Amino acid sequence: MRVTVEPTYDMSKVLGVDSFEVEDVATVAEAVEKARERVGDEFEKLSRVAAIAVNGVLVSHTKGMKTRLSDGDRISFVKAAAGG
């Protein structure tokens, strides 16, 4: 199974790409671990302020990190923004 990971802007700068694919993942937790391996040491700092969404739905509204994935899903690290 292959899913696309869309990192935050800050993660993208470190990686040099806007998105990347990971394979052989069944849950959000497994995909996040693959992203952690790819980003490296800065992952914790860069992901600390980001929520995770699968196909546009925050995983906090589903089964969290245990959310099951399907082939072709898009996992996005979503950084909160506020304005006025």
CATH topology of domain 2-79: Ubiquitin-like (UB roll) (3.10.20)
Q: In Å, how far from its chain's centre is CA 55?
A: 11
Where are the domains positioned within the chain?
Answer: 2-79
pTM, two decimals, is: 0.88
| pLDDT band at residue 82 using 50, 70 and 90 as cut-offs | low
By the 8 A CB rule, do 70 and 45 touch?
A: no
By the 8 A CB rule, do 37 and 63 touch?
A: no
For 62, counting Cβ atoms within 10 Å of its Cβ (0-12 exposed, 13-18 middle, 19+ buried), the class is middle
Give per-residue pLDDT as tens, 25-60.
999 999 999 999 988 998 988 888 899 999 999 999
